[in-house]
Amino acid sequence: MQHSVKYTILFAAAVCVACAILVSTSAVSLADLQDANALLDKRKNVLLAAGLIEEGQRVTAADVEKLFENVKAVAVDLESGELAADVNVETYDQQKAKMDPATSYEAPPNPSVIKRLPNSAVVYHVLGAQGQIEMIVLPIEGYGLWGTLYGFLALDVDTTTVRGLTYYQHKETPGLGGEVDNPRWKGLWPGRIAFDENGEVAIQVIKGQAGPPSSDPHHVDGLGGATITSRGVTNMLRFWLGENGFATYLEKFRQGRQVS
């Protein structure tokens, strides 16, 4: 049975409209679930960086929620280093904020290719049994070889001893730069020292093998065959621990002026 050209066009259009409605409805209905999963993944990576869960450990959403009861998210004004009391950390989207001229500013030229900075960044305080801050987890990002790497750096309450590093999103080549996900490499970070005796950022990923933290505190093994990614990790740590990142906040924290 042959159909007219008009019938065929109308039928195809109807199918397209129906499919579009189906896809749109699915996207809207799943949006809340996607947001919840994104928040869960972010919290899990904060816990990984802090060493509160181990690589490969199977944890449920309830486990993450329970562990996160000992983590307090605070918004920090990057320029002043003060807590940004007007920012709701539960709903604040740092990546969206840095794209809006009203809530961000242009970053100075830097090797990490960071173009804009949000006015405020969310920092995580890991609390002890008595409610005291035992660790600080900082969000970090910067360009590697193929794109931006996003992760978290955990520092001891002394603000200089590294407790952990993890990346949750990147475009690096598997087996090369993608080794930033390798538990063995991430296991080299705890105990390293971020700053030298003059307060300058000293932590860096070197070419080749570094010594243990006790004798070579500022260096971490390079990623084999991934010199540019290794350099990218160093660049982003220097940026976020430096004056354009969290340096002012960390200094105020050391002085006891930023503990809530």
Contact between 246 and 239 (Cβ < 8 Å): no
Q: In the prediction, which pLDDT does 27 show?
A: 47
Q: Is 58 exposed, middle or buried (CB count within 10 Å of its CB: 0-12, 13-18, 19+)?
A: exposed
Q: Which residue has the higher pLDDT, 175 or 116?
A: 116
Arithmetic mean of pLDDT, 135-164: 95
By DSSP bridging, strand 116-118 and strand 120-127 are: unpaired
9 vs 144: CA distance, rounded Å: 48
Confidence of residue 5 (pLDDT cuts 50, 70, 90): low
Query: Rounded mean pLDDT of the chain?
Result: 87
Contact between 241 and 136 (Cβ < 8 Å): no
User: Is the model's pLDDT at 153 over the cut of 50?
Assistant: yes
Q: Poorest-confidence range of 117-121, 178-182, 234-238?
A: 178-182
Q: In the prediction, which pLDDT does 30 show?
A: 45
Tens-place pLDDT, residues 16-75: 666 666 655 554 554 455 567 777 888 899 999 999 998 878 889 899 899 999 999 999
